[in-house]
Structure 1
Amino acid sequence: MSLIHAFERALRENPDGAAVRTADRTVCYREFDKLSQVFAEDLRAEVAPGGFVGIEASKGLGAITAMIGALRARRPFVFLDSRDSVASNSEKVRLLGVRRLARSRDDGDVYLTDVPEAWRADESDLARGVLDVEGELCYAIHTSGSTGEPKCVLVRPAPLAAVVRDHVERLSVGPDSRTLQFARLTFDGCMTEILWTLTAGACLVVLDEARLAPGTELRDTLERFGITHLKTTPFALTATEPSGAMRLRHVINGGGACRSAVVAKWSEVAALHNAYGATETTVCNLLTGPLDPASCRDGVPLGDVVGDCAYHLRDIDEGSAPARTDGSVRRGEIVITGPAVAAGYLTEHEVRPFGPAGDGTEYRTGDIAELRDGNLYFVERLDHQVKLRGYRLDLGEIENTVCQAESVVEAVVTVESHDGSEAAGGDALVCYYLGGADPRELRRHLEGVLDPYKIPSVLERVEALPYTLNGKIDRDSLRGNRILGEDAVSTPVQQVLALVGHLTGIGDAVLDDNFYALGGDSASTLLLVAKLRELGWLDAGVRDVLRAKDLRALTDQLRQRSV
């Protein structure tokens, strides 16, 4: 069944039920049908078949009306956000040949207008590649992936309908359900939450972004509007505390790795699911059933296939063994196959289908996963693998192990220079973590479960982690906040303790601590020696640090030699 057939069935079965609720208005299915039908008629009259229409990406009834209207008119659409740069929107308009833009009036009505002059392209400069796509398109969405270079993905409607249908069934969405429209409209996560709601006769709650801020604002919104279905990010689930006043039934973690602490917290108030997918493979490809905290202590699975797709793991190491059925572990890159694979990237002159042969049959996600005991677990992005001191490391594997420790909520592992200098290159594993775990106890835990070369040199507890607009951890901000400066302490011994704390993440280092028991390594030893010399102990050497049973012995012997 197509998306529009499913929507029209919901309309017939629940004409007086609430379709869209905003902060100050509720629109029933009968009224929403009229609004979207009027817009669809205008769109058919003004945009030729196959032509893209832009939709202003502002949270409200109008954007939802325009999206459903575009589906009913069978005109592909792209969301355009005025908060993005002029250059970015101009390129989207030019590449897709967008001439008309759907905007909303204060009453929720939608009208078509010319795209803003600042975004407009000359007729001769409009790209033509999109005209060569075989079959119908549903929408275009731009993703930078891991390269930082925006790419335009073209998605078809039939695979999206299959994904939505599976979500409706697995999440038991019906007329008594209320979904919070959480994702920004320029992120494809919005597609499933909007469409699983409106094709099931449920109510979509659309509010301004201030009411969606993770923490107390989001908690208040979930309570006040009686939300039953929520799809959101690991950041929002970590930063927000569930309450007994919530009416949640199903919560979906999407857009990043799900941690055991999140499962334990949210499964107390709702069925918590983990979702996995890629923009290039029609939003979502895997979804778990309700997760059991007891079975997620060693990792959270990615789930079973949703929609019209399949997957396999591509070997990433020469000589790696093929998958076996005896419960052994198999690791590789997730490759999605089947109709869910999108039409391709729209480039300057053509549509470039996915797949090694350019035949559109598969998409290599760049995500490393591990198959064990019949379940698939996310490990790390392929381009986040690092080499440090001759070893290849999956940072996601280390993060997951840190998160298995008691009282750790979230962890981020980066490769940095010990002194924060970019010129020095990466010479240390640094782990930032949320939670109440003592860094000494955390190190002892890691020493019992990880190979020595995988244990971070620095374990730094933080009060909060920085995030990007789309809910991803901002690793650059983390690194930028950890720059070695002058220690604002009075005595040389206090300066040494502060330096050791910086190099290991143990902020309360004392003279009875051994430098290496705190996490010191060869690279941090050199920095410690250099700092000791700056403090006046000019004959300090690496052997002094290696032989000292603790920091007291180290500073004592250096003081004696300096007399």
Structure 2
Amino acid sequence: DATALIFKDKQLSYGELNSKANQLAHYLLTEKQITPDTLVGICIERSLEMVIAILGVLKAGGAYVPLDPDYPEARLTYMLEDAGLVTVITQAELLKSTPVSETQALCLDGEFIQQQLDQQPTINPEKERLGLNSNHLAYVIYTSGSTGNPKGVMVEHSGLLNLVYAQRQGFNVTQSCQVLQFASVAFDAAISEIAVTLCTGAQLVLVSGETAKTVALLEEVVKKSNITHATLPPALLSTLDLFLWKHVSTLIIAGEACSVKMAEVWSDNRVLINAYGPTESTVCASMGVYKQGGGYLHMGKPLQNIQSYILNKNNKVVAIGCEGELHIGGAGLARGYLNRPDLTAQMFIDNPFYDKSNPDSSERLYKTGDLV
């Protein structure tokens, strides 16, 4: 009966959320023949239904592909075609403004679909029936490169599970916490917010797209909901009223560099965590706590079961104090890029430090391109 999701004046308990996600999962299994590694698009406005859709796809054994309805039509068209999406969970109104076709669309707000879903079992799908394991895909998120079309990063369940365990502990999330769901579903920070919260039994507070872009509206939600945990881009901090965020006991900054001056302000009377990680390493590869008076922000230490190496152009470890390119390996490593074996081979290289006797060691390393 504990509250799982809150969105505006609506909320769902854990029991209700699980039942609705299960009904969608059973529908996907029987009507859409979803199997492990089947890609299913999700093009839904921020809402309770967005989370239901994500969980429904995962429970069916498929991998979700988030499609932000606000993206340009050309970008959405490319993603739909590149991922070869046969099924896209969406809303009827979005068919007018996005390139999702009627044949692809599974409109959760459609009367007929609602009747179909209501007839589905509310129990969890049987694990044996799914044939799912930790090496199957959980999601494919498209990231923008410096040039050309976006590339789909394929992330497996093992990486997502490792992230949840690490961040749940690192962020000190408990059942009594209220976590802000700020990121767009098209960014991998969103699955961090969702999965860490729900796997802990805490409350996830969602905001509309307009609220996420409007400081006054966002701070109204933060104050009203007594948000305890939030993940924000550092650039947003200077626009916020520090007093209205006083209940936020843990603030995670990610996505870009943060100034020491800003860190000093926002680390007062709370835990401020600087999180780093490309999508290719399942959201987050390392995190470090900034303490007032520290003088500089650091990336901290790698998450559990993650390895980081600073290498030169010959893939040799650089001496202490010398600059090199950061390489990441371990449990969070993505499978690669969808339909891009050439780019996958270029960016995911053989790990010269691979240790068969260490279950956390990976056969490959990801070249981040970041100099440290």
Label 1:175 to 1:98 Cα distance change in 2 as closer, same or farther (>3 A): same
Shift of 1:278: 0.3
**CA deviation map 1:35-83 (0-9, x unaligned):** 1111111111213313211111410000101111111111111011232
The residue that corresponds to 2:2 in the other structure is 17
Shift of 1:164: 1.1
Q: Distance in 1 between matches of 2:214 and 2:255?
A: 15
Select the residue among 36, 41, 48 that pairs with 2:34. 48
- Equivalent pair of 2:277/2:284 in contact (CA under 8 Å): yes
Q: Which has the higher contact order (CA 8 A, sep 6+)?
A: 2
Label 1:237 to 1:140 Cα distance change in 2 as closer, same or farther (>3 A): same
The residue that corresponds to 1:189 in the other structure is 189
Paired residue secondary structure (1:239): coil
Moved more, 338-347 or 216-225: 216-225
The residue that corresponds to 1:38 in the other structure is 23
The residue that corresponds to 1:323 in the other structure is 319
The residue that corresponds to 1:450 in the other structure is none
Label 1:365 to 1:118 Cα distance change in 2 as closer, same or farther (>3 A): farther
Select the residue among 308, 312, 320 that pairs with 1:311. 308
Paired residue secondary structure (2:204): strand
Shift of 1:360: 6.2
Label 1:244 to 1:83 Cα distance change in 2 as closer, same or farther (>3 A): closer
User: Match of 1:343, as an amino acid?
Assistant: R
Shift of 1:182: 0.5
Select the residue among 292, 297, 301 that pairs with 1:300. 297
Q: Distance in 2 between matches of 1:258 and 1:248?
A: 18
User: Is 2:347 aligned against 1:362?
Assistant: no
User: Match of 2:43, as an amino acid?
Assistant: E
Q: Distance in 1 between matches of 2:198 and 2:319?
A: 41
User: Match of 1:213, as an amino acid?
Assistant: K
User: Match of 1:303, as an amino acid?
Assistant: G
Paired residue secondary structure (1:273): strand
Q: Which runs of 4+ in 1 moved over 6 A?
A: 348-351
- Listed as ranges, the matches of 1:9-158 within 5 Å are 16-45=1-30, 46-49=32-35, 50-104=37-91, 115-116=100-101, 135-158=135-158
Q: Distance in 1 between matches of 2:202 and 2:29?
A: 27
User: Match of 2:83, as an amino acid?
Assistant: L
**CA deviation map 1:231-281 (0-9, x unaligned):** 010111222121166311100000001211221111124211000000111
- Listed as ranges, the matches of 1:217-256 within 5 Å are 217-243=217-243, 246-256=246-256
Label 1:244 to 1:235 Cα distance change in 2 as closer, same or farther (>3 A): closer
- Equivalent pair of 2:327/2:367 in contact (CA under 8 Å): yes
- Equivalent pair of 2:141/2:186 in contact (CA under 8 Å): yes
Shift of 1:104: 4.9
- Equivalent pair of 1:243/1:269 in contact (CA under 8 Å): no
The residue that corresponds to 2:203 in the other structure is 203
Label 1:94 to 1:247 Cα distance change in 2 as closer, same or farther (>3 A): same
**CA deviation map 1:470-527 (0-9, x unaligned):** xxxxxxxxxxxxxxxxxxxxxxxxxxxxxxxxxxxxxxxxxxxxxxxxxxxxxxxxxx
Q: Distance in 1 between matches of 2:302 and 2:172?
A: 17
- Equivalent pair of 1:234/1:256 in contact (CA under 8 Å): yes
Shift of 1:219: 2.6
Q: Distance in 1 between matches of 2:19 and 2:92?
A: 16
The residue that corresponds to 2:359 in the other structure is none
Number of aligned positions between the proteins:
325
- Equivalent pair of 2:287/2:299 in contact (CA under 8 Å): yes
**CA deviation map 1:154-211 (0-9, x unaligned):** 1101111111111111212111111111011111111111111000000110111222
**CA deviation map 1:119-141 (0-9, x unaligned):** 89xxxxxxxxxxxxx94111111
Shift of 1:284: 0.3
Shift of 1:230: 0.1
Label 1:57 to 1:306 Cα distance change in 2 as closer, same or farther (>3 A): farther
Q: Distance in 2 between matches of 1:91 and 1:18?
A: 38
Label 1:349 to 1:253 Cα distance change in 2 as closer, same or farther (>3 A): closer
Label 1:348 to 1:300 Cα distance change in 2 as closer, same or farther (>3 A): closer
RMSD of aligned Cα (Å)? 2.7
Q: Distance in 1 between matches of 2:188 and 2:317?
A: 36
Q: Distance in 2 between matches of 1:321 and 1:171?
A: 31
The residue that corresponds to 2:130 in the other structure is none
Identify unmatched segments of 5+ residues in structure 1: 1-15, 107-113, 121-133, 370-563
Shift of 1:366: 0.8
Shift of 1:217: 3.4
Q: Distance in 2 between matches of 1:229 and 1:24?
A: 20
Q: Distance in 1 between matches of 2:152 and 2:214?
A: 29
The residue that corresponds to 1:411 in the other structure is none
User: Match of 1:292, as an amino acid?
Assistant: K
Label 1:274 to 1:70 Cα distance change in 2 as closer, same or farther (>3 A): same
- Equivalent pair of 1:20/1:206 in contact (CA under 8 Å): yes
Label 1:245 to 1:311 Cα distance change in 2 as closer, same or farther (>3 A): closer
The residue that corresponds to 1:513 in the other structure is none
Shift of 1:337: 1.4
Q: Distance in 2 between matches of 1:104 and 1:117?
A: 11
Paired residue secondary structure (1:220): helix
Label 1:304 to 1:321 Cα distance change in 2 as closer, same or farther (>3 A): closer
User: Is 2:354 aligned against 1:347?
Assistant: no
- Listed as ranges, the matches of 1:254-403 within 5 Å are 254-289=254-289, 291-295=290-294, 297=295, 299-315=296-312, 322-324=318-320, 329-347=321-339, 352-353=344-345, 354-357=347-350, 361-369=364-372
